[in-house]
Structure 1
Amino acid sequence: MSTAEKTTKHSDDAGDPGETAGTAEPAGTADRPGARLLGPLLAVAVALAALNLRPVVTSLGPLLSRVRGDLHMSAAVAGALTAVPSVCFGLFGFASPVLARRFGPTVVVTAGMGAITAGVAARSFAGSTAVFLVLTAVALAGVAVSNVLIPVVIKRYFPQRVGPMIGLYSMALSLGTSLAAATTVPLTGALGGSWRVGLGLWAVLAALALLVWVVTVALRRDGRGSAAGAGGAGAAGPASGERLAIARSRTAWAMAGFFGCQATGAYATMGWISQIYQDAGVSASTSGVLLAVVMAISVPVSFVLPNLAARRGDQRLFVVVLAACGVAGYLGLALAPAGGAWLWALLVGLSNCAFPLTLTMIGLRARSAGGVAQLSAFAQGVGYLISIPGPILVGTLYESTGGWYLPLAFMGALLVPQVLIGLRAARNRFVEDEAG
């Protein structure tokens, strides 16, 4: 066990005597029917939730032209639609710790799954652009609170298995991203060709996750306030329940900056890499497969990387290695995009694995579930807001120059501050020591 995990275990035990550290079963519930299933059930719930955090976005991209035509959506609105996820993730993410303190993180994540289910299902019936955008925002609000609070649930109920559980969460999230991007169009065609069916279909997966979370909350009966480990008023001491002046923590700001840099690169890659390949002469179908490779490579890496990172006192080595992969990938795309297409896709995909690394570090940079809740909301909220201009700027540079040298130079240059900030975020520090 790493030093960080030992410290985490000690502080969780001291600040929260109502739960046995390292398990997902609160003390005093062992004799309840189904109590032995709570740990595995919560792990399944985490994985199912993660599967639903990206199809809201990645299922829309392949069908956007059909949606625009049917709803008479302008090109400007369609362009702004690509920024909506980051805006929602940033704004709604800030509200997550407040909701978690009031209702408990498991209850709020369950509500998030409900919002995703309702938003995805209802937007498939939208008759206007405005209604479609509002319902998409409802679904993204559910994604936002779940983004922030699932690491809190992991820290709270699996304090000795943060690395493996973050790995499971990250792997399932990457799988959901790839699955929606790769299968939405074929499934839409098989079910009659309507974009409404193709988008609404993902509500079924969200409803399954919602059902499992409802059962989990019903069995736990510990959703609200300090009993849920959200840093409520009942928890004692700064290691467990005190509200932190999180903006005073240099580590928190470093985590936010690192998250923002990696999110900028990831969204720019997802939005534009297919166009880069097509402009180099690669067919549309092959460029789609290459995009799938970029996203799919993170599935196995997202499981292994958090385990390796959690075993170390700091994660600076991983920050540097992932950035180096990105530099090599962007350089290859600029100089020989078609000649080494598969290698560049692999390298860029590895670079995007800074996301599960960030989630792991969020879980390790605070001693308690309450600290993780506040750090997660701050890092993701500020980070997603930082990432909003990036993909738009890449598109602007591409349109103004007619080529990819300058946009790719920008994406490669962005890795410099990512490394510098990441080296600070990766040090073995705790936000409670800086902001308590």
Structure 2
Amino acid sequence: MQTSPSDNLATLDTASSAPRPAEPGGPRRPASPWRGRVMAAGLLLAALNLRPAVTSLGPLLEEVRDGLGMSGTVAGVLTSVPAACFAIFGLTAPRLARRWGLGAVVCAGLAAIATGLVLRPLAGGTVAFLAASGLALAGIAVSNILMPVIVKRWFPDRVGAMTGLYSMGLSLGTAAAAAATVPMTDALGGSWRVGLGVWALVAVVALVPWLFLARDRTNGSEAGGSEAGRSAVSGTVTGGSASGGSASGGSGADASATAEAPAADGTAIRITRSPIAWAMAVFFGFQATAAYISMGWMPQIFRDAGVSASTSGVLLAVVMAMGVPLAFVLPRLAARLRHQGVLVVILGVFGLVGYAGLWLAPAEGAWAWAVLLGVANCAFPLALTMIGMRARTHAGVARLSAFAQSIGYLLSIPGPLLVGVLYQHSGGWGQPIALMAGFMVPQIVAGVLAGRDRTLEDEA
């Protein structure tokens, strides 16, 4: 299951299992059990809203195209917008959080999601529809980045449990929007505008606890790990003790000091010159490409093969839901291996077989192909785990995570667009599916290179 930069700082926990002392301005426990429950509810409700804007559109894409007179190429642009927004707006989240506070920025992000989802069905043309979608996706992008920081600051003793709650909410929101949008549209009169707009109500409900949480400016205006966001491209990764300042829990100043400490041998490496960083970025980019092609185009592939719109949405939900159980298994398995390349190859083979089946018999084996492609899409939690294993310091993990995800999402932007262009000009799905399968090859190669038992500090 694909998510977004949201989990980039969550991977820092896998970098070291050693307990760390509390730091000034670092993690805080909720002031009371009541406040802790409000925060947990807000976390879950926010997570539920971080994908419906994307996965609710795929099952209704044909109706949206017809209603707005949208060409296949423009539809391809629409399916590329999520990756572009995540890459661009996600980088602004740390700066906004330092200025306004974590809770306030997440609250504003949810408000942007709700507003975008309200305006999108009211759009009378393609440009307005894209603009409204962009507003919702910008809100998703900043919330993606900051919610794991909130987990680390407010639940320092329950990071695993609360990250699991967040991940579960993310997966449920993703799958529910894919499966329920068409049935709800039919039940509400059959208008795609109503079917898409109803998800704004879920975002409005999620706003309620955050209106309270946003009032507390002590909830982490330093935005732990923010230096990683600012230095995603230009930062320097250095060696040092893994017990140095936390890039996620401490203040921005602490993270910066750790990241800029000299290595034991006095050398340092710029992350833009790191083969490991580039291998991780390319691997992340191609797995994100596959995920956003699936979310944007998979229902249309099944519908063109004769599968009903409702069933096509459920099939997309199956693809997305496969990430729920495997997200718990793959990271643990990867952590036990010295070289994660074997897992990269296995997931790649699942993807190639799924695309082959989709090309040969899309309707006859639809459920099997959905399962296979859902397994292949679990390269996302594997990528996050590998990021945590490719650096020895918390600052190194933070910089690698920011670099790999920012560059990776930028690399993923053209994929869905190319699929739309090929679909329009070829009049069928043969060439687009061949392209999807072709993307799997560099994903496997880059993943094998990124999975080697090396760290950024080894390159210094």
Report the TM-score, using the length of structure 1 for normalisation. Answer: 0.79
How does 1:194-343 map onto structure 2 within 5 Å? 194-218=191-215, 221-225=218-222, 228=224, 230-231=226-227, 232-235=251-254, 238-239=257-258, 246-278=271-303, 280=305, 282=307, 285-306=310-331, 308-309=333-334, 315-343=340-368
Which of 6, 13, 33 lines up with 2:21 in the alignment? 13
Q: How far 1:349 sits from its partner (Å)?
A: 0.8
Which of 79, 82, 86 lines up with 2:79 in the alignment? 82
* Partner of residue 421, structure 1: 446
* Partner of residue 93, structure 1: 90
* Partner of residue 410, structure 1: 435
Amino acid across the alignment from 1:384: Y
Amino acid across the alignment from 1:58: T
Secondary structure of the equivalent of 1:83? helix
* Partner of residue 408, structure 2: 383
Kept after mapping to 2: 8 A contact 1:294/1:349: yes
Kept after mapping to 2: 8 A contact 1:334/1:405: yes
* Partner of residue 176, structure 1: 173
* Percentage of matched positions with identical amino acids: 56
Structure 1, residues 261-291: CA drift from partner, whole Å, max 9, x if none?
A: 0111122233343444455555555444333
Structure 1, residues 36-81: CA drift from partner, whole Å, max 9, x if none?
A: 3555554443332222111112223344455456556566544432
Kept after mapping to 1: 8 A contact 2:59/2:310: no
Kept after mapping to 2: 8 A contact 1:329/1:345: yes
Cα distance, 1:177–1:233 mapped onto 2, change above 3 Å: closer
Kept after mapping to 2: 8 A contact 1:297/1:350: yes
Secondary structure of the equivalent of 1:234? helix
Report the TM-score, using the length of structure 2 for normalisation. Answer: 0.75
Q: How far 1:351 sits from its partner (Å)?
A: 0.5
Q: How far 1:175 sits from its partner (Å)?
A: 1.9
Amino acid across the alignment from 1:85: P
Which of 140, 144, 167 lines up with 2:141 in the alignment? 144
Cα distance, 1:292–1:187 mapped onto 2, change above 3 Å: same
Partner Cα distance (2:164, 2:345) in 1: 20
Amino acid across the alignment from 1:119: G
Amino acid across the alignment from 2:226: A
Kept after mapping to 2: 8 A contact 1:164/1:303: no
Q: How far 1:353 sits from its partner (Å)?
A: 1.3
Q: How far 1:136 sits from its partner (Å)?
A: 1.8
Structure 1, residues 332-365: CA drift from partner, whole Å, max 9, x if none?
A: 3334444433222211111011123334444555
Partner Cα distance (2:323, 2:21) in 1: 33
Cα distance, 1:264–1:370 mapped onto 2, change above 3 Å: same
- The count of residues paired between Structure 1 and Structure 2 equals 420
Partner Cα distance (1:356, 1:183) in 2: 25
Secondary structure of the equivalent of 2:254? coil
Kept after mapping to 1: 8 A contact 2:79/2:293: no
Amino acid across the alignment from 2:175: S
Relative to structure 2, which stretch is displaced further, 359-368 or 172-181? Answer: 359-368
Partner Cα distance (1:157, 1:248) in 2: 35
Partner Cα distance (1:416, 1:50) in 2: 32
Partner Cα distance (1:70, 1:338) in 2: 26
Partner Cα distance (1:168, 1:370) in 2: 25
Partner Cα distance (1:386, 1:280) in 2: 30
Partner Cα distance (2:36, 2:337) in 1: 26
Q: Is 1:45 the equivalent of 2:42? A: yes
Partner Cα distance (1:372, 1:215) in 2: 32
Q: How far 1:233 sits from its partner (Å)?
A: 4.7
Q: Which runs of 5+ in 2 are unaligned?
A: 1-11, 228-250, 262-268
Partner Cα distance (1:280, 1:74) in 2: 19
Q: Is 1:117 the equivalent of 2:95? A: no
Amino acid across the alignment from 1:256: A
* Partner of residue 351, structure 1: 376
Partner Cα distance (1:192, 1:404) in 2: 31
Amino acid across the alignment from 1:343: A
Kept after mapping to 1: 8 A contact 2:73/2:421: no
Kept after mapping to 2: 8 A contact 1:254/1:422: yes
Q: How far 1:123 sits from its partner (Å)?
A: 3.2
Structure 1, residues 282-328: CA drift from partner, whole Å, max 9, x if none?
A: 55554443333222322333344445545666644432322221122
Cα distance, 1:391–1:132 mapped onto 2, change above 3 Å: closer
Cα distance, 1:351–1:43 mapped onto 2, change above 3 Å: farther
Relative to structure 2, which stretch is displaced further, 103-112 or 258-267? Answer: 103-112
Q: How far 1:140 sits from its partner (Å)?
A: 0.8
